[in-house]
Amino acid sequence: MASLKLQHLEKIYDNKVQAVYDFNLDVKDGELIVLVGPSGCGKSTTLRMVAGLEDITSGKLLIDDRDITSMPPKDRDIAMVFQNYALYAHMTVYENMAFSLVLRKENKNVIHQKVLAAAEILGLTDQLNKKPAQLSGGQRQRVAMGRAIVRTPKVFLFDEPLSNLDAKLRGATRREILLLHKRLRATMLYVTHDQTEALTLADRIVCMSMGHVQQIGTPLELYDTPANLFVASFIGLPPMNFFEGRIENGSFVSEDFKYPLNAEQKELLKAYENKEMTLGVRPENVVRADSGIRVRVNLNENLGQTTLVHGTAGSSKITCKFREWCDYKEGDEVYVGFDRVHFFDKETSNAVR
């Protein structure tokens, strides 16, 4: 296993599209890093540069402090698992998993033991003689992973490996990947646009937008202390509510409501008196109150344990996540308060901390 360093990586495609800007990341040995971001933000491009499938325009790539920037893919000792599995249809599971080793002319007995060991880890022992067409999507994805495991690569790369699976299987396979990571203690780079996957799997998350890294941190850091408006709006489901306003006399004042700051917040926002701010509140931080901000209910969604209430506070939309069963009707009014808020500088969109 190995550490991986990405230093000032940039990618400009032949058509002058710059897909990745100054990407810096130190992946520690055995760490699972998740790259997350909306479609087209450059996640796959970054991963493909690490795999060697895409030329690196500028910057450096190191494995165990060895420069592999211009090394051909087959020498990098990196295994990639693709979204569409890329299995050979005419080969059995066993042959699919053994294939890369057969190409390397490894001893057949050694290959056999590696394949059996990988199949055991992945629970594929009974499927080894089947063809990919006879397997379920989840099993196929496991075969694709098995093919990576038998190679005992230094680094595993995953590009949206679960997006072809239905929701239930996705959850199960996600947990399997997590277990696999624990068992192999492998260095992994995992790309997804699904924040649930990112939050559940990652040791650290890299959140990207438009080719730029927005924030790197643990799942909790990204959830609890987002660096800017983009990360705040991307991480969390349902997404954070945002209100535009300004700081006036120790309160956040928007068109629709006035939110008095506590001592700590006043201290924090001293420099922002009379400046434009964005206030962010996660739906789960909106709590029912006897008085405060008045929300007019548009829609009440019961999820069992929680209720999502969509409404408006004056002219602003707001989503509240209450921890109990509620039965609001359209047009009902409810008073809410915020038990945790985030402030963002409207000019730079960075969080004020």
Partner 1 sequence: MDEKQIRRDRLRYSKNKTSSGLALLAIVLNVFYFVSIYKSDVGNYYYTWLTGVSIIFNLVFMLTVFLCSEGVKNYHLGYSVTLIVVGVIQFVRTRIIPKKAYEAVVILADQETKVMTDAQHTRIIIYLIASGALLILAGVIGIIKTATLRAYEKELETKTAA
- Name the residue nearer to ligand ATP (CB basis): 161 or 280: 161
**Contacted entry of partner 1, Mg ion, ligand ATP, none for residue 283, CB cut-off 5 to 8 Å set by kind:** none
- Select from ligand ATP, partner 1, Mg ion, none the partner in contact with residue 15, using the beta carbon and a kind-dependent cut-off of 5 to 8 Å: ligand ATP
Applying CB under 5 A, does 96 fall inside the site for Mg ion? no
CB of 107 to partner 1, least distance (A): 10
Three-state SS letters, the chain: CCCEEEEEEEEECCCCCEEEEEEEEEECCCCEEEEECCCCCCHHHHHHHHHCCCCCCEEEEEECCEECCCCCHHHCCEEEECCCCCCCCCCCHHHHHHHHHHHCCCCHHHHHHHHHHHHHHHCCHHHCCCCHHHCCHHHHHHHHHHHHHCCCCCEEEEECCCCCCCHHHHHHHHHHHHHHHHHHCCEEEEEECCHHHHHHHCCEEEEEECCEEEEEECHHHHHHCCCEHHHHHHCCCCCCEEEEEEEECCEEECCCCEEECCHHHHHHCHHHECCEEEEEECHHHEEEEEEEEEEEEEEEEECCCCEEEEEEECCEEEEEEECCCCCCCCCCEEEEEECCCEEEECCCCEECC
Tell me how far, at minimum, the Cβ of 156 lies from partner 1, in Å.
24
Asked whether position 49 contacts ligand ATP by CB under 6 A, the answer is no
* # chain residues binding ligand ATP, by CB under 6 A: 13
Partner in contact with 41, chosen from partner 1, ligand ATP, Mg ion, none, beta carbon below 5 to 8 Å by kind: ligand ATP
Q: How far is the CB of 152 from Mg ion (least distance, A)?
A: 26
By the criterion CB under 8 A, which residues form the site for partner 1? 92, 94, 108-109, 112-113, 115-116, 128-129
Q: Which of residues 41-60 bind Mg ion (CB under 5 A)?
A: 44
Using CB under 5 A as the binding rule, whether residue 192 contacts Mg ion is answered as: no
According to CB under 5 A, which residues from 194 to 223 bind Mg ion?
none
Stretch that binds ligand ATP, among 32-40, 235-243, 257-265, 306-314 (CB under 6 A): 32-40
What residues between 165 and 194 interact with ligand ATP by CB under 6 A? 193
Residue from 4, 9, 19, 118 that binds ligand ATP (CB under 6 A)? Answer: 19
Identity at 136, one-letter amino acid code: S
Tell me if 40 contacts ligand ATP by CB under 6 A. yes
For position 43 contacting ligand ATP by CB under 6 A, the verdict is: yes
In the complex, least distance from residue 112 CB atom to partner 1, rounded to whole angstroms: 5
Residues that bind ligand ATP (CB under 6 A): 13, 15, 17, 19, 37, 39-45, 193
